[in-house]
Chain A
Amino acid sequence: MDQYETLTGKGHSRRRFLRNVTSMSVLAALYGYGGVSPALAWPQVGNHEAERLEDGDTDVFNLVIDRTPMKIDGKPANPITVNGTVPGPAIRMREGRNVRIRIQNNLDEWTSIHWHGILLPFQMDGVPGVTFEGIPPKDTFEYYYPLKQAGTYWYHSHSGLQEQLGHYGPLIVEPAEPEPFNYDRDYAIVLSDWTFEDPHDVFRNLKVAEGYYNYQKRTVEDLLEDIQKKGWSQTMRERAMWGEMRMSSRDLLDVTGSTYTYLINGRSPNDNWTGLFKPGEKIRLRVINASAMSFFDVSVPGLKMTVVQVDGQNVEPVPVDEFRVGVAETYDVIVEPTDQQAYTVFAEAMDRSGFAAGTLATEVGLTAEIPEPRPIASRGMEAMGMDMSDMDMSDMDMGGMDMGNGDTEMGGQSGGMDMGGQSAGMQGDQGMTGQSSHAGMAMDHGDAKGGMDMAMDKSGGKAPWPLADREISHGPNDHGPGAAMVARSPGNRLSDPGIGLESTPEHKVLVYDDLKALAPWPDPREPEREIELHLTGNMERYMWSFDGEKFSEVDGPIQFHHGERLRLILVNDTMMDHPIHLHGMWMELENQHGDLRPRKHTISVKPGEMVSARITADAPGHWAFHCHLLYHMKAGMFRVVSVA
């Protein structure tokens, strides 16, 4: 520990100053002032990497944080840059070595860098107010830590709303041992959402005007269409259900393409980032969702993608056609283009309000067709966390369950649902038939078409879901004014690809239940203790919290006992998907694969879902734990985990 304190102390300011002058002049020559490259996002082709210096058993990187005027999607912007670019340069570290990263903050404000997914001493984690004070304006900081893992990660500011302004980049840790898969070349694919608005204005708009960025709300036209399709009474029942809750079935993302320009490696679809290949090569795409608020559905039309790593951790390879990447997650996939043609790397925002796109091609300048945008989907009743096992679906229009075709709204109602403390008093006249009653089970959309397996015991040899018989308790007043709803019977949605996606034999979409570790993780213990946390929110006032309490309302950290084995249970009591990130320790997601749990740093929790993860509390210190939707975090969906 002393080591880190010394290294980050203020004692060596002169030496550091000299060092920084040197690195600055090198950078000045490289970016901008030397005339080598105008201030831009990344170059159109390939990845842009940070220079790696060696100092004995330590790799050294110099990073300068600054505001750099440039064009994004052809329009003038003034993002926060790392070494002059958005995203910052790819940093390639090496497992088994130490790393020293010298930060020069040229901003007029405090900043920080968090190494997302890296296990390290907590003082090096880079969360202002939790692990250190931050990096003051015009000052320096030195990170130093050993690398005990490999894979694809990323880094980003943990100060204010700087992430929205471009302060992020890819972090790749090269493995000490060969990986269990081969590839000929690899590209980081950094997905992000850029706005020309001031992020503080974005936050205020969300705070004072609910639905500000949603231009896909239900209109009279949708109503008429529904009546035509489903009939008057069905439509009215559905409308009544949503009206009863004062919720929108079209509220998928809070900030949308109405203000966002979606980027791949800092480049808009017009600026067409391109990765080159030779036919027959295996290309590893390291897909990183560095956006502030956007879930993306990623595909390379015409190519199968084989998922080999998730959150930097190896998984049993799964061939898929599409996968959803939650904010802050990473997915490594391998594609094998055999033809001399161009392929689009397509990342469509989950609410279909826009997309990022780039190209894989054999030469620069080629493009491939960009898929037709799909219509927005509407959330169904599974989002409300209702128990649907005792309902009869006979009069239900099953076409309505086809999530891939947009407009899906389930008309069922359940007496067990409770919104805003007022019982909706609904009748269970619809739902699923032919399924065994299974408490807390979620509806599986794809099953209607026979395209997916169910999260049920019928799947032979699958490990039982640890939360299958769990009774969820909510307090007498639920979670207070900060929580607009609670999920009465949250369920297993690990085999549900999510809103707007449908997995079929022709078009396989990755689900969490597909993820299987290659070998059991080192700690075989059963959990000694369970911690249940509810994800809560109130859209009207844009309050987001855990258990109804914003960070400003809690009086202490969540306590992990050093060395204990925990089960963390997350229950989503909101209508939004939340990517929940724990710093400093892995979360082993408990899915159908028993001991072969995939290990994650960020777990996306769907509306009405209950999910669990095992944690070994082996990292003493203070750690951030939060929703990785930037404005949810800002609004209070944040806790400190204290391991002692």
Chain B
Amino acid sequence: MNTNRHLSKTVGGLLSATLLAVMPLAATADGQAPFAVEKGWAPPVGDEPHGFFLFDRLEYAAGDDEDSVNVEFKGWYGGDYNRVWVEGEAEDVVSGGSGGAIENLDLLYGRLISPYWSVQAGVGYQLEYGPGPDPDRGYAVLGLQGLAHYWFEVDTNLRLSEDGDAWADFEAEYDFLLTQKLVLQPRFGTMVAFDEVEEFGVGEGINNVKLGLRLRYEIKREFAPYIGVSWNKKLGDTADMAEDEGEDTGDFRVLAGVRMWF
């Protein structure tokens, strides 16, 4: 009870502090105002902030034992150099069990450091719920996000929890154009923990490998239904911990969903 209150306070505090620090930066978009030929005249061209919100995955995932609804989103607001990001990933078991997880919910400040790369820093929150205890934790994030050579979309983060536990994740995806509107997207994800955290079932070392393959049809750029498969394999200590709990270490799912943005 006490811990929980302490937790939410910490996370809440961190979140608001970051927001306050980051918002003015993003609002001015790219810093200084253009020089004016004559005082009081609006500049001939100027920067204005933009916003973007993407559901990268919004899907129903049918597995051998349980089905879940998964969501992964990212949104940003700001200029070309400075942006505020919200990123999140969550799943909710809808059949064959109960519970779910907010794997991460991040509020980040991002800064463009090279043509294709942004560094991101901020805070985040993780929660598991369902049968048994509902552990949660807040953490600080330092990330690198961008477009690697050969058009690999890459997002990688280093996280440090309020209890001092550290872990890193890496995700890459690639768009393979079968036609102008039919896109095959393989994706790869992995997580490495530097500390064991039993309540989240996290072992030290490489935790897992996640593979996905999604075939989407872009009815519009903004709206693309897809079908696909995913395979999540737990590894090392993490796998052992799962086996001790009587869980499978491999999880194969068939997916149907939609990718959309606003």
Contacts and interface: CB of A to CB of B under 8 A. Distances in A.
Contacts of B9: none
Interface in B19-65: 29-38, 40-47, 50, 52
A266 interface: no
B80 interface: yes
B5 interface: no
Given A482-B80, A633-B45, A554 B34 contact: yes
Contacts of B132: none
Contact of A219 (B30, B32, B47, B180): B180
Contact of A209 (B31, B41, B261): B261
B44 A127 contact: yes
Contacts of A640: 37, 44
Nearest to B182: A219
A19 interface: no
Given A129-B41, A220-B178, A246-B147, A551 B221 contact: no
Interface stretch (A20-28, A335-343, A454-462, A537-545): A537-545
Interface in A464-491: 481-485
B201 to A, nearest CB: 37
Contacts of B176: 220
Contacts of B114: 420-421, 481
B246 interface: no
A78 interface: no
A221 B178 CA distance: 7
Nearest to A129: B44
B177 interface: yes
A208 interface: yes
A130 B81 contact: no
Interface stretch (A7-15, A163-171, A210-218): A210-218
A543 B52 contact: no
Given A128-B42, A158-B44, A481-B113, A553 B31 contact: yes
Contacts of B149: 243-244, 246, 422
B179 A219 contact: yes
Looking at A128, A538, A550, which has the most chain B CB atoms within 10 Å of its CB?
Answer: A550
Contacts of A204: 50
A205 B52 CA distance: 10
A553 B32 contact: yes
A483 B52 CA distance: 22
B116 interface: yes
A550 B33 CA distance: 11
Contact of B36 (A129, A422, A485, A538): A129
Contacts of A543: 80
B77 to A, nearest CB: 11
B200 interface: no
B151 interface: yes
Interface string B142-166: 0000011111000000000000000
Interface of B is mostly: loop
A540 B116 contact: yes
A405 to B, nearest CB: 21
A540 B34 contact: no
Interface in A236-265: 240, 243-244, 246
A244 B45 contact: no
A208 B29 CA distance: 15
Interface in A395-446: 420-422
Contact of A246 (B45, B46, B81, B151): B151
A556 B114 CA distance: 25
B133 interface: no
B153 to A, nearest CB: 11
Interface in B180-234: 180-181, 221
A640 B45 CA distance: 11
B180 A634 contact: no
Contacts of A246: 116, 147-151
A622 interface: yes
A331 interface: no
A165 B83 CA distance: 30
A212 B116 contact: no
Interface string A523-558: 000000000000000101101000000111111110
A210 to B, nearest CB: 9
A636 B221 contact: no
B7 interface: no
Contacts of B45: 129, 551-552, 626, 633-636, 638
B213 to A, nearest CB: 15
B86 interface: no
A244 B33 CA distance: 35
Given A208-B52, A219-B178, A481 B112 contact: yes
B175 to A, nearest CB: 10
A551 B115 contact: no
A225 interface: no
A220 B179 CA distance: 7
Contacts of B38: 133
A360 interface: no
A129 B221 contact: no
Contacts of A638: 44-45
A130 B44 contact: yes
Contacts of A127: 44
Nearest to A200: B48
A207 interface: yes
A216 B180 contact: yes
Given A158-B44, A634-B45, A540 B115 contact: yes
A82 interface: no
A552 B36 CA distance: 10
B132 to A, nearest CB: 41
Contact of B115 (A128, A221, A481, A636): A481
Interface string A606-644: 000000000000000010101000000111101010000
Contacts of B115: 420-421, 481-485, 538, 540
A207 B32 CA distance: 20
A546 B113 CA distance: 18
Interface string A315-343: 00000000000000000000000000000
A552 B151 contact: no
Contacts of A635: 45
A492 B158 CA distance: 48
B113 A218 contact: no
Contact of B35 (A217, A244, A540, A555): A555
Contacts of A554: 34-35
A624 B116 contact: no
A481 B114 CA distance: 4
Interface in B91-131: 112-116
14 contacts: A128-B41, A131-B37, A205-B221, A208-B261, A216-B180, A541-B80, A551-B44, A552-B34, A552-B45, A554-B35, A555-B32, A626-B45, A635-B45, A636-B47
Interface of B: 29-38, 40-47, 50, 52, 80-81, 112-116, 147-151, 176-181, 221, 261
Given A246-B149, A420-B114, A553-B31, 19 more contacts: A128-B44, A129-B42, A129-B43, A158-B44, A208-B52, A216-B180, A219-B177, A246-B150, A481-B81, A484-B116, A538-B80, A540-B147, A541-B80, A550-B30, A555-B35, A622-B37, A634-B45, A638-B45, A640-B37
Q: What are the 10 closest A-B residue pairs judged by CB atoms, nearest first?
A: A243-B150, A129-B44, A484-B115, A208-B52, A219-B177, A420-B115, A215-B180, A552-B47, A481-B112, A552-B34
